[in-house]
């Protein structure tokens, strides 16, 4: 461990994992905290928290307001829980324009209504000019588990089918394009959206696991599953939906879309028995129109679970977990 | 409303109230959010959130770690709820020393153990150097109401006795002294402490209302009660415990101790029937040794509830709500 915090410690990749495992968990050793879900399961409730430090605050397809509600809702929804209540903690920099705060609040309001979550408590702190970055929003959410058989790592079995509800990488690509750093003006909008009530429509089926692939993208989510279960995951490169603008941006900047953040996607594992019905139900919802089966869970070939990508020409490559510093930095 | 956010918008005084009422509540109009408690009551649960942006991070009597757990625990405890679960959201500035993070985590751990709350979920973001102030911590907490007759504004009645569990102003004074801004080195320690299980010992009595007087101090809490109930509150200036170092600091800097923040105090209202037993029980606990009866709830003399201070010479003065910018700024 280094002596000071580095940007990579916040990137959501390997360095973040090491900070959490070696430092945070050495002090805060609750068995629930150790489960490494993005929300804590407590009796019939789930509880989640996330801080939003995105730049720019407004981007094609959304803003920090829509992002913070969607992020909170999605962390609850993928636990098979109906999002019930959330809190908002604002850390605002002195001098921040009230007009921008209005836009953000309007967006929070609309996204909360869309998902059915209620904002019931909040807090505001103002920090001196130069000691913040416009606005940071910390959100926590409480949900009520409504899936009869709640999804989770322990329910994953060999043969499970891996699905995703549409094109990947849109959020990260929209942020990169909105920054204009590379002189790019890609016609790409963030996919940021609350995944409930979309995921509620699947509550009667045998969904074994769900996770929203945000920081670190689909590669991060699949590697977490492989590590937690010890099983191999095999995905087909050509099965993964990637839109043309995202593909173009990746080719230009040397990114792999599998590592790009999403904010309206779910990686879903289903028993082979229910996978067909699940895919059909997903395709009938606006948020799942481009749903695809992207792979399968296989028996492990080695001591540890791995993620294998079958390429267009039939060869296989290993999909590694994201490195420490995730590129592009989007939070 | 101004066009940009001012420091006073975060001070917890009148400007914060106006920001919340005129702006936040115009967008986020949940009836629970409108109740203006520091925690939201949801069926048998309470839910609270707070962000901690204190400077310095380490001060006599505590640090930001002890502060953030105590603040979360206390917001739940004063609702008559056992603190059950909390989340931690870290926003850390690039370059922050790991050694300081260790001290903060150790302190979080100890304070959580002291109060019985479990830390079950968390999140870490790192912001670029110059875009933060070392470390901000956002906490949310979930509690379970265990008071048979949970305290709340609606239970307050004329004749209720007002108590406090010890000397006021210690936290704000410790922060001011720790900053060394005025060349002061007062021998004063913050009172920061988790008020549960202390307040659990009162759960069988007729406690009608509790609130921890943090930002804006006892003056803020009493004015909130007067506004919410429409009743007058009368307190005796000589009954309010103020330690010599706090008194000295206030004389020197022109502060009124009634406006100074506390982090281990509770303003408690009790029915006249139970007030004696409650005071006795409080005095038997280390956190309540200096408990005093400081006043009474009276019938309103005008259209709106007011807070009246009976002075040493027998005259009465009106105790106004804190103004926009609270001095000293401690968060």
Q: Return residues 31-90 of A near B (CB < 8 Å).
A: 32-33, 38-40, 42, 45, 47-51, 53, 84-85, 87-90
Give me the pLDDT at residue B178, please.
87
pLDDT tens-digit series, residues A60-88: 999 999 999 999 999 999 999 999 999 99
Q: Which of A77, A112, A145 corresponds to the end of one domain?
A: A145
Q: Tell me whether A316 touches chain B (CB under 8 Å).
A: no
Give me B266's structure tokens: 């509770």
Domain for residue B3, yes or no? no
Q: Tell me whether B312 touches chain A (CB under 8 Å).
A: no
Q: Identify which has the larger pLDDT, B13 or A288.
A: A288
Same domain, yes or no: A157 and A306: yes
Q: Report chain A's mean pLDDT, rounded to a whole number.
A: 91
Give me B265's structure tokens: 């105090």
Residue-wise DSSP of B17-60: HHIIIIIIHHH---TTGGG--SEEEETTEEEEEEEE--SSSEET
Domain for residue B20, yes or no? no
Calpha distance B162→B159 (Å, rounded): 9
Domain for residue B294, yes or no? yes
Domain for residue A97, yes or no? yes
Q: What is the CATH number of the domain that holds B177?
A: 3.90.650.10
Between chains, do A105 and B47 touch, taking CB under 8 Å as contact? no
Residues of B in contact with A120 (CB under 8 A): 30, 32-33, 40, 42, 47
Same domain, yes or no: B134 and B255: no
Q: Which of A112, A145, A178 corresponds to the end of one domain?
A: A145
For A183-187, A278-282, B82-86, which range has the lowest pLDDT when averaged over its residues?
A: A183-187
> Which of A65, A110, A140, A261 to probe by mutation at the B interface, max B CB count within 10 Å?
A140
**Ramachandran region, residue A270 (left: φ > 0; alpha: ψ -120 to 50; beta: rest):** beta
Mean pLDDT of A208-212: 97
Q: How many A×B Cβ pairs under 8 Å? A: 245
Calpha distance B144→B47 (Å, rounded): 9
Phi, psi of A267 (to 5 degrees): -90, 120
**Are the beta carbons of B65 and B104 closer than 8 angstroms?**
yes
pLDDT tens-digit series, residues A82-109: 999 999 999 999 999 999 999 999 999 9
> Which of A126, A134, A326 to probe by mutation at the B interface, max B CB count within 10 Å?
A126
Give yes or no for residue A36 having a pLDDT over 80. Answer: no
Same domain, yes or no: B58 and B174: no
Same domain, yes or no: B135 and B163: no
Mean pLDDT of A14-31: 79
pLDDT tens-digit series, residues A118-143: 999 888 888 888 888 899 999 999 99
Domain for residue A312, yes or no? yes
Give yes or no for residue A184 having a pLDDT over 70. Answer: no
Same domain, yes or no: A165 and A185: yes
**Are the beta carbons of A271 and A157 closer than 8 angstroms?**
yes
Give me the pLDDT at residue B330, please.
62
Same domain, yes or no: A193 and A46: no
* ipTM reported for the complex, 2 dp: 0.87
**Are the beta carbons of A197 and A75 closer than 8 angstroms?**
no
Q: How many domains does chain B have?
A: 2
Same domain, yes or no: B86 and B158: no
- For residue A243, CA distances in Å to A146, A180, A213, A214, B53 come to 33, 20, 17, 17, 41
- For residue A145, CA distances in Å to A80, A200, B329 come to 6, 11, 42
Predicted TM-score of the model (pTM):
0.90
Calpha distance A293→A295 (Å, rounded): 6
Same domain, yes or no: A43 and A179: no
Calpha distance B86→B122 (Å, rounded): 9
Same domain, yes or no: A230 and A118: no
Mean pLDDT of A158-186: 88
Q: Return residues 255-294 of A near B (CB < 8 Å).
A: none
CA distance A320 to chain B (A): 22
Residues of A in contact with B101 (CB under 8 A): 5, 23
Between chains, do B331 and A28 touch, taking CB under 8 Å as contact? no
Domain for residue B224, yes or no? yes
Which residues are within 8 A (CB) of A302 and not within 5 positions of it... i.e. 6 or more apart?
none
Give me the pLDDT at residue A272, please.
97
Same domain, yes or no: B168 and B302: yes
Same domain, yes or no: B182 and B269: yes
- For residue A222, CA distances in Å to A47, A235, A308 come to 23, 10, 10
**How many helices and strands in chain A, by DSSP H and E?**
8, 14
pLDDT tens-digit series, residues A215-242: 899 999 999 999 999 999 999 999 999 9
Which residues are within 8 A (CB) of A184 and not within 5 positions of it... i.e. 6 or more apart?
A176, A177, A249, A252
Task: List, run by run, the mean pLDDT of 10-residue segments along chain B (331 residues).
Answer: 80 75 80 76 88 93 97 97 94 92 94 95 88 92 93 96 98 89 75 97 97 94 94 96 93 91 98 97 98 96 92 91 67 53
Q: How many Å separate Cα B226 from the centre of its chain?
A: 17
Residue from the list A47, A88, A132 with its beta carbon closest to the beta carbon of B121: A47
Q: What is the CATH number of the domain that holds A51?
A: 3.30.1330.10
Q: Which of A145, A167, A202 corresponds to the end of one domain?
A: A145
Q: How many Å separate Cα A79 from the centre of its chain?
A: 13
Domain for residue A3, yes or no? no
Between chains, do B9 and A124 touch, taking CB under 8 Å as contact? yes
Residue from the list B16, B95, B122 with its beta carbon closest to the beta carbon of A33: B122
Same domain, yes or no: B97 and B216: no
Between chains, do A5 and B92 touch, taking CB under 8 Å as contact? yes
Domain for residue B17, yes or no? no
Phi, psi of B268 (to 5 degrees): -125, 130
Parent domain of A201: 153-318
């Amino acid at each position: 461990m280094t002596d000071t915090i580095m940007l990579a410690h916040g990137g959501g990749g390997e360095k973040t994992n090491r900070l959490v495992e070696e430092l945070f968990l050495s002090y805060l050793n609750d068995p629930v905290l150790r489960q490494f879900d993005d929300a804590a399961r407590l009796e019939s409730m789930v509880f989640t928290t996330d801080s939003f430090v995105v730049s720019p605050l407004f981007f094609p397809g959304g803003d920090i307001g829509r992002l913070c509600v969607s992020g909170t809702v999605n962390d609850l929804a993928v636990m098979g829980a109906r999002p019930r209540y959330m809190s908002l903690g604002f850390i605002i920099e002195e001098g921040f324009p009230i007009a921008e705060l209005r836009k953000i609040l309007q967006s929070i309001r609309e996204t909360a209504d869309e998902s059915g979550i209620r904002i019931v408590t909040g807090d505001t702190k103002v920090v001196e000019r130069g000691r913040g970055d416009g606005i940071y929003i910390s959100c926590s959410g409480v949900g009520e588990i409504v899936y009869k058989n709640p999804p989770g790592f322990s329910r994953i079995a060999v043969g499970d089918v891996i699905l995703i509800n549409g094109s990947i990488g849109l959020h990260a690509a929209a942020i990169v394009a909105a920054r204009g750093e590379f002189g790019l003006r890609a016609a790409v909008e963030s996919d940021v959206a609350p995944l409930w009530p979309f995921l509620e429509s699947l509550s009667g089926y045998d969904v074994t696991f769900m996770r929203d692939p945000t920081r670190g993208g689909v590669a991060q989510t699949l590697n977490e599953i492989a590590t937690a279960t010890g099983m191999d995951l095999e995905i087909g490169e050509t099965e993964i939906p990637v839109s043309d603008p995202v593909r173009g941006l990746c080719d230009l900047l040397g990114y792999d879309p599998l590592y790009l953040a999403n904010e309206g996607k779910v990686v879903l594992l289903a028993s082979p028995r229910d996978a067909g019905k699940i895919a059909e139900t997903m395709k009938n919802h606006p948020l799942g129109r481009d749903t695809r089966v992207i792979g399968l869970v296989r028996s492990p070939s080695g001591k540890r679970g791995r993620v294998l990508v079958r390429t267009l020409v039939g060869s296989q490559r290993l999909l590694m977990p994201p490195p420490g510093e995730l590129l592009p930095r989007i939070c």
